[in-house]
Amino acid sequence: MIKKYTYGKPIQTDATVIPLNATVGMPAPFTVTETETGVQFAYAMDRDDAVFGLGEQLRGMNKRGWIYESWNYDDPSITEGRSCLYGAHNFILIFGKKTFGAFFDCGGKVTFDIGYSDPDLLTVCAKDVDVYVIEGENALDIVKKFRTLIGPSYIPPKWAFGYAQSKWGYKCEADIRTVYEGYRREDIPLDMIYLDIDYMQDYKDFTVNVERYPDLPALSAELKADGVYLVPIIDAAVKVQAGYSVYEEGVEKGYFCTDKEGEPFVIGVWPGDSLLPDVLNPAARLWFGSQYKALLDQGIEGFWNDMNEPAIFYSKTRLQSALGEVAKAVGKNLQVEEFNEVTGNFHHLANSLADYDSFYHNAPDGRHVHTDAHNLYGYNMTRGAAEYFEEYAPDRRFLLFSRSSYIGLHRYAGIWTGDNCSWWSHLKHNIAMMPGLDMCGFLYAGADLGGHGDRTTEELMLRWLAFGIFEPLLRNHATQGTRDQEFYIFKDKKAFRNLLGIRYSILPYLYSEFVTCAKNGGMLSRPLCFDYPDDARARTVEDQLLIGDSIMIAPVIEQNARGRYVYVPARMKMIRMKAGDRYTERIVEKGEYYIEVPLDEIVFFLKEGKVMPLAKPAKNVASLDEEHLTWLKFISEPTQYRICRDDGFSKSSLENFETVTVEP
Ligand code: MIG
């Protein structure tokens, strides 16, 4: 049962796909009060209630005990004390005495105080918002109802489930070849190499620097023939430069965001002075999407969209005024207060509210100041590309994912979770974030494996990989200037080869489960309590996950650990894998165990009554042999499994499932 309530005049977000009439009255079980800035929804939590959801957010799986903001933000240092990240996923699931879901559909800022101000009180504050209260039989049923409301999830081509190497710092064709050859030389699987902003000419979207990449189509074709795809980045802002067609055409058509007076609003990001395409205007959105053709025509089939919160280093106007203030101080003997004032001009240039308050969108439902539609920007930038791909090749699936997002984007693309660090705490955070993302429809998702900022270690890489092989988006990415973290540079290459090989062995399972969940609103990763709701202990487990219908994982997330304690909520079969075709199994009863997990092994648990297909390890998705599958099984009677037999590329073949009966 879903009920909708409307407060104020919400902006059209297109988050939902099923039209509902608003109900009059209280959105029980919330109580509502008007505040100076909008409306507050309150719910008194029971002592043992857990609160899940919020997708890409900070802290644990259970969100209780902190205050969160939905305000898409380019955060170069993700630490525990913060309140917002790159996405706004305003769905929460209260799990406990009363289990129910709520979605706060609003393009602007929303605050979730989940036991921060008062440990037992949940409050949500917003302005101009549609609230959906969702009831159902149990947690998963509520999630499924919500997902029906917001529509099915994006499904990328199958090769996007392979392993990807990325780094900001690969500058030219030779660098790409080094990576490709490194993986091939050490016989470590590889499906994708990413191109960061250095492939562009002067950071101009949809251009290629031909000195660095003399023949991108040839390079792309050559690598693709060996199953390796090139995936370039696209930034949100467009460089201001005479003669640059995207800039000139956009200005001529009035497709960029404007200031109060209707003049293009100039910001500074990587290309220097730049303009933001007005992606809330459907015509401008599709026009921006159609620019991807320049790269599609060169054989590119996948993209990652960056800087689309939108991130702003500075606005031209405010930078000029800051520089003016500094100029006035030149040669002066400044008192401390004056010094603070002068330098303060520079402290808040990036991503400032003053700037977000200064430009406008021409949306179908009117002209909006950006602040009110802020969280919809990255969503619509990415949607534009997806809408164009549909025109370009209607039945073809392209790889597309975004940094910034809002619920609704999940129908068009995936996301990655932004600039994490090579910290053990961020590995743990990665695990905690996955179920929230799944609840909100973002199934094709993942974090920068090994960490984006700071210095990784071989041990952290291996442990992160041992978790990452269960995540749909498996990409090793790091920022410029950090220690190299390509797998082939580490000492124990065999360990990387074997662990990553297991990803390909479990791919028939992961992929079938993914496609099923994307279509029917299921969750690929779930907190333990979703499957074991009456188990009080299961509700507190923050570092184990159920993955798909058959298995549970318990990754090692501590430095120098030889293993870890695992809570087994029911009788299961423990699988210890050295490689996809080399493993041992042992039945474990419900309880807590210390499990040894060497760095070059993966341990996971098969639920009783379930089976799981296994393929032989492969060097990439293209060469995966899915005809000769073996089965992991913990069954006493013949058991059916639905395996996806699509062609990996088309939308129409996604209907092809084969039901296999596995004998005990
Ligand atoms: O201001 O393109 O999150 O993955 O490597 C930084 C350079 C811009 C941020 C992305 C990161 C990417 C980087 N980008």
- 14-25 pLDDT per residue, tens: 999 999 999 999
Maximum distance among all Cα pairs of the chain, rounded to whole angstroms: 86
Identify the three-state secondary structure at position 31. strand
- Count of beta carbons in the 10 Å neighbourhood of residue 532: 18
74 lines ligand 1 (CB under 6 A): no
* Bridge-based pairing state of the strands 272-275 and 267-269: antiparallel
| pLDDT score, position 291 | 98
User: Does residue 612 sit within a domain?
Assistant: yes
Mutate to test the pocket of ligand 1, among 402, 419, 475 (most ligand atoms within 8 A of CB): 419
Single out the residue in 97, 124, 150 at which a domain terminates: 150
Q: How far is the CA of 524 from the centre of ligand 1 (A)?
A: 27
User: Does residue 640 sit within a domain?
Assistant: yes
Instruction: Count Cα atoms within 13 angstroms, Cβ side, for 625.
Output: 10
- pLDDT one-digit tens code per residue, 257-314: 999 999 999 999 999 999 999 999 999 999 999 999 999 999 999 999 999 999 999 9
Q: What is the CATH number of the domain that holds 65?
A: 2.60.40.1760
593 lines ligand 1 (CB under 6 A): no
Q: Could you give the C-alpha distances from 55 to 50, 132, 435, 556, 647, in angstroms and in order?
A: 15, 17, 7, 23, 30
Nearest C-alpha neighbor of 89 from the set 106, 76, 64, 75:
106
Instruction: Count Cα atoms within 13 angstroms, Cβ side, for 558.
Output: 10
Atom of ligand 1 nearest to the CA of 419: 3
Q: What is the CATH number of the domain that holds 563?
A: 2.60.40.4040
* Bridge-based pairing state of the strands 302-306 and 229-235: parallel
196 lines ligand 1 (CB under 6 A): yes
User: Does residue 280 sit within a domain?
Assistant: no
278 lines ligand 1 (CB under 6 A): no
Q: Are 525 and 547 in contact (CB under 8 A)?
A: yes
Q: How far is the CA of 624 from the centre of ligand 1 (A)?
A: 32
Q: Are 266 and 274 in contact (CB under 8 A)?
A: yes
Mutate to test the pocket of ligand 1, among 78, 168, 477 (most ligand atoms within 8 A of CB): 168
| pLDDT score, position 356 | 98
* Bridge-based pairing state of the strands 399-402 and 302-306: parallel
Distance of CA 306 to the CA centre of its chain: 12
Q: Kindly tell me if the per-residue pLDDT of 76 is higher than 90.
A: no
Q: Are 379 and 309 in contact (CB under 8 A)?
A: no
Report how far residue 278's alpha carbon sits from residue 361's, in angstroms, rounded to the nearest whole number: 6
Q: How far is the CA of 81 from the centre of ligand 1 (A)?
A: 22
- What percent of the chain shows pLDDT beyond 90? 98
589-594: average pLDDT? 98
Mean pLDDT, the chain, whole residue set: 97
Nearest C-alpha neighbor of 481 from the set 212, 167, 213:
167
| pLDDT score, position 77 | 82
475 lines ligand 1 (CB under 6 A): no
User: Does residue 201 sit within a domain?
Assistant: no
Report how far residue 14's alpha carbon sits from residue 151's, in angstroms, rounded to the nearest whole number: 10
pTM of the model: 0.98
Report how far residue 90's alpha carbon sits from residue 102's, in angstroms, rounded to the nearest whole number: 8
Atom of ligand 1 nearest to the CA of 452: 4
652-656: average pLDDT? 98
Q: How far is the CA of 306 from the centre of ligand 1 (A)?
A: 7
Report how far residue 395's alpha carbon sits from residue 232's, in angstroms, rounded to the nearest whole number: 22
- Count of beta carbons in the 10 Å neighbourhood of residue 224: 16
Confidence grade of residue 348 (pLDDT, cut at 50, 70, 90): confident
User: Does residue 109 sit within a domain?
Assistant: yes
Nearest C-alpha neighbor of 164 from the set 413, 486, 389, 547:
486
Report how far residue 13's alpha carbon sits from residue 376's, in angstroms, rounded to the nearest whole number: 7
User: Does residue 115 sit within a domain?
Assistant: yes
Q: Kindly tell me if the per-residue pLDDT of 581 is higher than 90.
A: no
- pLDDT one-digit tens code per residue, 399-450: 999 999 999 999 999 999 999 999 999 999 999 999 999 999 999 999 999 9
Count of the separate structural domains present in the chain: 2
Single out the residue in 150, 166, 183 at which a domain terminates: 150
168 lines ligand 1 (CB under 6 A): yes
419 lines ligand 1 (CB under 6 A): yes
Confidence grade of residue 580 (pLDDT, cut at 50, 70, 90): confident
- Domain boundaries, position 537: 509-570+603-662
Q: How far is the CA of 270 from the centre of ligand 1 (A)?
A: 10
User: Does residue 610 sit within a domain?
Assistant: yes
Confidence grade of residue 75 (pLDDT, cut at 50, 70, 90): confident
CB-based contacts of 52, cutoff 8 Å, min separation 6: 61, 62, 63, 92, 93, 95, 139, 435, 436, 439, 527
User: Does residue 186 sit within a domain?
Assistant: no
CB-based contacts of 256, cutoff 8 Å, min separation 6: 238, 250, 264, 265, 275, 276, 277, 278, 284
